[in-house]
Amino acid sequence: MLRSLAGAIEVCVTVTLLDGLVLARSAFHHSMNYRSVVIFGKAEIVGAESEKLEALQAFTEHVVPGRWEEVRQPTRHELLYSTSVLSLPLTEASAKIRTGAPNDDEADYNLPVWAGVLPLQLVASNPIADSRLQEGVVTPAYIKNYSRLGKTQHH
């Protein structure tokens, strides 16, 4: 797939985050609360070594802030021959969001059926150390205290 993208071909990237199950009084009106984005554009390979390194650092720091400074940096071979980085200008994008309570038919509001929203979220659990971790290496605070809450939720 990445080799195909090297030719600057048209791509579509879709990301959806599920925020909750919307449970109505009728099966017909069940729904989901979500945030979704669709991006169209021409992806191109980032070829310059410095740009690739900058992109990998930005990605790593976005996923786990503080990690980049602690890990071994990519070797020149890893960076040039084993890693592909793509650039995708946002030439066309659309976002769709659904929030709120169920929308039942007026007559269904009198039914003795529980209705509401069951919120869902992706949260980190306790870290599991690698079985080959050297003795004395402790779990860093940025891992122990890891949380995406507040960073990605914009309700």
Residue 75 lies in a domain: yes
Residue 66 lies in a domain: yes
Give, for all 155 residues of the chain, the pLDDT tens digit.
666 665 678 889 999 999 999 999 999 999 999 999 999 998 888 989 999 999 999 999 999 999 999 999 999 999 999 998 989 988 899 999 999 999 999 999 999 999 999 999 988 899 999 999 999 999 999 999 998 765 543 33
Rounded Cα distance between 65 and 142, Å, is 7
Distances (CA, A) of 70 to 7, 32, 66, 109, 118: 35, 39, 7, 56, 38
Nearest of 102, 95, 120 to residue 35 by alpha carbon: 95
**SS3 assignment, position 28:** helix
Could you identify the residue written with the tokens 């099966």? Answer: 27
Residue 150 lies in a domain: no
CATH number at 51 reads 2.30.110.10
Residue 135 lies in a domain: no
Boundaries of domain holding 7? 2-122
**SS3 assignment, position 7:** coil
Residue 18 lies in a domain: yes
Number of domains in the chain: 1
